[in-house]
A and B are shown apart, each in its own frame.
Chain A
Amino acid sequence: MRPRAAAIVGIGQSAFSKHLGVTEAEVAGTAIGAALADAGLTPADVDGLCLYDIESTTVGDAATVLGLDHLRFFSTHSHGGGSYCAVVLHAAAALAAGHASVVLAFRARNRGRGSSYGKSSNEGGRPWQKIAHRISGFYQWQVPFGIVSPVQEMALIARRHMLDHGTTEDHLGEVACAARSHAARNPHALQREPMTLADHHASRFIAEPLRLLDCCLESDGGCAIVLTTAGRARDLRQRPAYVLDGVQCVGPAHHHPHDWFVFDRRRWMAAAAERLWGSAGVRPTDVDAAMLYDHFTLMVLIALEDWGFCAPGQGGPFTENGALRGPGGRLPVNTHGGQLSEAFIHGFNNLNEAVRQVRGTSTCQVPGAELVFVAAASSDPYGALLLCR
């Protein structure tokens, strides 16, 4: 893709909460309104929409519920946190193709414990609590046997990572503690109390080796971004966060444990990383801050390995000596607190923070940050982005 041809020119969010008490559509409206105001644009300016396919507010709703009645491009993206870079890449593509001139992307998600707005699998509560008595699809190969939720799937991957590479509890704990240290500075974060490694190790096991503090939050909230062409971006009120480059990737291994170890996922991850860095003309060492999908601490380590910040298997040692801690660490990660400590918006809040780092407005600002890396979940069909000044 042509570097810096598209830019994120507006970001917005709702409050983050354990229980907002309003519908996801209202949460979306709040986040979208804030993003458009941030960009100095109005709903009438928006002619493109890139959505998660699990968003309860559909494309059809957008014209009615959200007042977006000038849409002439829309695409949807599956796999939740696996695809949050895809919405940006497709938005940039639509702009480049001339299919749209202002593209909106958003995610509104009420999954706090207190939120229960319906029985559908996407409304309130935990998806695995809504598993039917009879299951089809790939979950039939694990749920009847007691591997029901993502944390249990990840636990199997984490265990092997510890066996194969010597990854320790301290490594996982450091990911959580670094995120918490960033959240402490962030007034919007849901979990701001300081956390030490001892605190992490004392938190109860969910599915060994993963503990409560290895897992992302359950929360209500929404985030939105607005993209336009570089030319138009220059006339708007915020410093643009340009899309330097990005890739998507999907191979046959999903986090479904019976696939993860069977297919050589390192091979296509290495190919995706090479595509990204080769096309962008920068290296991992040029990156000033990284937003990695942190649904589980382990996945941050995997992302560091997958995208070439360290050698395969060396994600654990990379975290040592405060490498992940902003503002001055070797590679500050999730400087807003991430999904682990700010809120779980399927990664979308990572995008907003990436833009803040480029703008210089983060609560944990990396001095002089110019290049920010964003990666979607390594456990799903994934991708990565580079945003820059």
Chain B
Amino acid sequence: MTPVVVGIGTTPFTRRTRASASALAARAIEAAVRDARVGFDEIDGVVRFDRGAAWEYDLPGVMRLRALDYYGAVPDGPGSAPALVRLAAMAVSLGLARVVVGYHARAEARPDAADVLHAAALLARRQQPRVAAITRALRRAAARNPRALNGAPPSAAGGCAFVMSSLEPGRPWRKPVRVLGSMQAAIPSASRHLVAWLASRREGVLRAAARRLYREARLRPADIDVACLYAAPGALVLPALADYGLGDRGAAGLPRRPRVNPHGGQLEASLDGINDVIEAIRQLRGEAASQVRGARIALVAGSPLEPTSAVLLGAPA
């Protein structure tokens, strides 16, 4: 059963909120379910970030879901948004569930680990001019994005959800986005084990995982039209481009191809990259605010600073 994303939904992104993370998740899920044109009673699986504020058994209590047959989670953190897609796709492709909701919502900003910034700085040292150019480009992209709150700090409250199901005869999904491949890599956490994380950089662990991803999907970096790369801070775009073999090395700022973070990335909203997943899906459906013309293949990659994941998505056939 070919897994496809059949619906997406978000709440508005705001700097502060009075709502709980559960309420934001519920609203995002409701929007995604409406977008997918499925019934609530068809949902039989849920995937989420663990330790999150909204637990899946809150959901049947929070909204009218019937009992769920499948649920799982990914480590709570900015490496994991693509892994949500991977876990949902796995469930659908194996027939463990037929309609799986994946979601993530935050009601407040994640406290920044100083080591994260230190690690990002290490990654970007000796490339400060390019980092500055990338940061400016991301800000320009965010400024063009009607969903982004511009100015600092980026918004930290909101929810995103997607609905995963499979292509089945007789069920015409509107613009189903295909999951072409996915990967996970247990990179050490830079904030907990900086030395081990540096070693994993030197050993190219993430680079090898990226190659595995392309092999599984039978794609090459040159096939990527849009890349949504977790980049908080913006400097993280640089190692991501290298890890995933993307872009022209000589480029001054963001590469022209693929288009990187047309939504501004985490400057749109600081939501651990779940909004990057949504943007990639919008791009492939031709519904993005800053639409990349003819976008057929999208990469979404999580943070390189901790256990991470990436997914390759394809436009509706």
Query: Do A and B touch directly, given a CB cutoff of 8 Å in the complex?
Result: yes
CA distance A79 to B51 in the complex (A): 10
B75–A251 contact, CB under 8 A?
Answer: no
B57–A53 contact, CB under 8 A?
Answer: no
A275–B69 contact, CB under 8 A?
Answer: yes
Q: Is A75 an interface residue (CB 8 A)?
A: yes
B307–A59 contact, CB under 8 A?
Answer: yes
B186–A63 contact, CB under 8 A?
Answer: yes
CA distance A68 to B200 in the complex (A): 12
Contacting A at CB under 8 A, from B202-225, are 205, 209, 212
Q: Given that A72-B184, A72-B185, A75-B87 are known contacts, is A271 also in contact with B73, CB under 8 Å in the complex?
A: no
Contacts of A90 in B (CB 8 A): 72
B96–A60 contact, CB under 8 A?
Answer: no
Query: In the complex, which of the residues A53, A71, A137 contacts B50, with contact meaning CB atoms closer than 8 Å?
Result: A53
Closest-by-CB residue of B relative to A53 is: B50
B186–A251 contact, CB under 8 A?
Answer: no
A1–B96 contact, CB under 8 A?
Answer: yes
Contacts of B72 in A (CB 8 A): 75-77, 86, 90
From A92-100, A163-171, A192-200, the one touching the partner chain is: A92-100
Contact mask A34-76 → B, CB, 8 Å, 1/0?
Answer: 0000000000000001000100001111111000110111111
Contacts of A99 in B (CB 8 A): 86, 90, 184
Q: Is B118 an interface residue (CB 8 A)?
A: no
Task: Write the nearest CB–CB distance from B220 to chain A, whole angstroms.
Answer: 20
CA distance A99 to B311 in the complex (A): 13
A250–B68 contact, CB under 8 A?
Answer: yes
How many of chain B's residues have a CB under 8 angstroms from any CB in A?
45
Q: Select the residue from A58, A89, A249 with max chain B CB neighbours within 10 A.
A: A58
Contacts of A271 in B (CB 8 A): 67
Closest-by-CB residue of B relative to A2 is: B94
B67–A71 contact, CB under 8 A?
Answer: no
Query: In the complex, which of the residues A58, A59, A247 contacts B69, with contact meaning CB atoms closer than 8 Å?
Result: A247
Contacting B at CB under 8 A, from A72-121, are 72-79, 86, 89-90, 93-94, 96-97, 99
CA distance A275 to B98 in the complex (A): 14
Q: Given that A59-B75, A96-B94, A251-B67 are known contacts, is A76 also in contact with B188, CB under 8 Å in the complex?
A: no
B200–A63 contact, CB under 8 A?
Answer: yes
Q: Select the residue from B50, B94, B185, B186 with max chain A CB neighbours within 10 A.
A: B186
A78–B55 contact, CB under 8 A?
Answer: yes
CA distance A49 to B185 in the complex (A): 11
Q: Is B192 an interface residue (CB 8 A)?
A: yes
Query: In the complex, which of the residues B61, B73, B96 contacts A75, with contact meaning CB atoms closer than 8 Å?
Result: B73
Task: Write the nearest CB–CB distance from A56 to chain B, whole angstroms.
Answer: 12
Contact mask B40-75 → A, CB, 8 Å, 1/0?
Answer: 000000100011010111101100001111111111
Contact mask A268-290 → B, CB, 8 Å, 1/0?
Answer: 10011001000000000000000
Q: Given that A60-B307, A63-B188, A78-B55 are known contacts, is A272 also in contact with B67, CB under 8 Å in the complex?
A: yes
Query: In the complex, which of the residues A68, A250, A254, A267 contacts B71, with contact meaning CB atoms closer than 8 Å?
Result: A250
B67–A268 contact, CB under 8 A?
Answer: yes
Q: Is A248 an interface residue (CB 8 A)?
A: yes
Q: Is B196 an interface residue (CB 8 A)?
A: yes
Q: Is A252 an interface residue (CB 8 A)?
A: yes
Task: Write the nearest CB–CB distance from A104 to chain B, whole angstroms.
Answer: 12
CA distance A50 to B56 in the complex (A): 18
A72–B209 contact, CB under 8 A?
Answer: yes
Query: In the complex, which of the residues A64, A252, A263, A267 contacts B188, with contact meaning CB atoms closer than 8 Å?
Result: A64
A252–B186 contact, CB under 8 A?
Answer: no
CA distance A254 to B61 in the complex (A): 10
Contact mask A243-264 → B, CB, 8 Å, 1/0?
Answer: 0000111111010000100010
Contacts of B187 in A (CB 8 A): 60, 63
A64–B196 contact, CB under 8 A?
Answer: yes
A97–B93 contact, CB under 8 A?
Answer: yes
Q: Is A332 an interface residue (CB 8 A)?
A: no
B193–A61 contact, CB under 8 A?
Answer: yes
CA distance A40 to B91 in the complex (A): 30
Contacts of A29 in B (CB 8 A): none
A74–B94 contact, CB under 8 A?
Answer: no
CA distance A49 to B187 in the complex (A): 13
CA distance A271 to B69 in the complex (A): 10
Contact mask B82-116 → A, CB, 8 Å, 1/0?
Answer: 00001100110111100000000000000000000
Q: Given that A93-B91, A250-B57 are known contacts, is A59 also in contact with B186, CB under 8 Å in the complex?
A: yes
Contacts of A263 in B (CB 8 A): 61
Closest-by-CB residue of B relative to A90 is: B72
Closest-by-CB residue of B relative to A262 is: B61
CA distance A271 to B87 in the complex (A): 24
Q: Is A381 an interface residue (CB 8 A)?
A: yes
Q: Given that A75-B73, A78-B55, A247-B69 are known contacts, is A60 also in contact with B188, CB under 8 Å in the complex?
A: yes
Q: Given that A61-B192, A250-B60 are known contacts, is A69 also in contact with B73, CB under 8 Å in the complex?
A: no
Closest-by-CB residue of A relative to B22 is: A137
Q: Is B276 an interface residue (CB 8 A)?
A: no
Closest-by-CB residue of A relative to B186 is: A71
A97–B50 contact, CB under 8 A?
Answer: no
B186–A62 contact, CB under 8 A?
Answer: yes
Contacts of B91 in A (CB 8 A): 93
Q: A75-B73, A96-B94 are in contact. List 9 more A-B contacts (CB 8 A).
A: A58-B307, A59-B75, A60-B193, A63-B187, A72-B209, A74-B186, A99-B86, A250-B57, A381-B57
Would you mind naming 18 contact pairs between A and B with Cβ atoms under 8 Å apart? Answer: A49-B186, A53-B73, A74-B307, A76-B50, A76-B72, A78-B50, A78-B73, A79-B55, A90-B72, A93-B90, A93-B96, A94-B90, A247-B69, A249-B67, A250-B67, A251-B57, A267-B67, A275-B69
Q: Please report A residues at the B interface, Cβ cutoff 8 Å.
A: 1, 49, 53, 58-64, 68-69, 71-79, 86, 89-90, 93-94, 96-97, 99, 137-138, 247-252, 254, 259, 263, 267-268, 271-272, 275, 380-381
